[in-house]
Amino acid sequence: MPAPQRTRPVHTLTVTRTEWITPHMVRVWAGGPGLAAVADNGFTDNYVKLLFFPDGRPEGPLDAAELRASGNLVTRTYTIRHRTPDELAIDFVHHGDTGLAGPWAAAVRPGEEFSFMGPGGAYRPDDSADWHLFAGDAAALPAIGAAIESLPAHAVGVAFLEVDDSAEEQKFVTEAAVDIRWVAPGTLVDAVREYPLPAGRGHAFVHGETGAVKQLRSVLADVDQLSISGYWRRGMAEPEFQAAKRTDPV
């Protein structure tokens, strides 16, 4: 008999505003009465599973396990980039007209509702590390940005961030000494490989396209603490990517 699906609470928020923070990154702000029940778990890689309904959004309360069983549920995973008492913000890479979540975020308007499960999370920069290293592409910028902005002033680190071009570069608000290195498409792995790791105990956070992340796992094998996984995979929509991850974990 198949194991029963765990029912996770579903949260529903209302979009309050959207802003294009770069030509290919749209920030969706949302709030409303549902926000209070969205736990703040203290992780900087807080992620949620956004719900999409191929057969249309059902009336009434949403039961994820029931919807999944009926086939009327697909999910996409996104990081909570900011949280204030009244709103949270999620940054979406708009990678063209393909996919569900990217086009949804580009088109959504204030007043529309959306739902998600979560948040989950597993990483927060370790205050006691001697140095920090961040590596990722645009999909990881929300989590890397949140991590950099959480660092205390005495922290030191380096961030290798792969974006399409200089228009996609973002600013992070931090007093920590983080050397931000924007790198061109396809050069993330080499940029990290060429970096001599400092002495002392390091904490690294490495996420993005699976092919690059797989290579970075061996490049960074000597780092003491490593949070590393693929966030997406070229040529695969998220359900296919998540299924592949179960048999071939990154």
Ligand X SMILES: Cc1cc2nc3c(=O)[nH]c(=O)nc-3n(C[C@H](O)[C@H](O)[C@H](O)COP(=O)(O)OP(=O)(O)OC[C@H]3O[C@@H](n4cnc5c(N)ncnc54)[C@H](O)[C@@H]3O)c2cc1C
Which residue lies nearer to ligand X by CB, 25 or 158?
25
First to last CA, the chain: 29
Cβ burial of 96 (10 Å; 0-12, 13-18, 19+) is exposed
246 near ligand X (CB under 6 A): no
| Least Cβ distance, residue 235 to ligand X (angstroms) | 5
* Cβ pair 226, 122 in contact under 8 A: no
> Judged by CB under 6 A, does residue 123 bind ligand X?
no
79 near ligand X (CB under 6 A): yes
Asked if 99 is part of the footprint of ligand X (rule: CB under 6 A), the reply reads yes
Instruction: Considering the complex, state which of residue 31 and residue 99 has its C-beta at the smaller distance from ligand X.
Output: 99
Based on the shown chain and the rule CB under 6 A, indicate whether residue 46 belongs to the binding site for ligand X. no
Residue 162 CB, shortest distance to ligand X, in Å, is 11
Q: Is 202 in the site for ligand X (CB under 6 A)?
A: no
Six token digits for residue 222: 């000597």
CA dist 49 and 59 (Å) reads 20
Q: 87, 30 in Cβ contact below 8 A? A: yes
> Is 235 a residue that touches ligand X (CB under 6 A)?
yes
DSSP state of 64: H
101 lines the binding site for ligand X (CB under 6 A): yes
CB 163 to ligand X: min, Å: 11
Establish if 76 lies at the interface with ligand X (CB under 6 A): yes
**Nearest-CA neighbor of 157 among 183, 130, 139, 119?**
130
Taking the C-alpha atoms of residue 103 and residue 40, their distance in angstroms, rounded to an integer, is 27
Site of interaction with ligand X (CB under 6 A): 47, 76-79, 91-93, 95, 98-102, 138-139, 142, 231-238
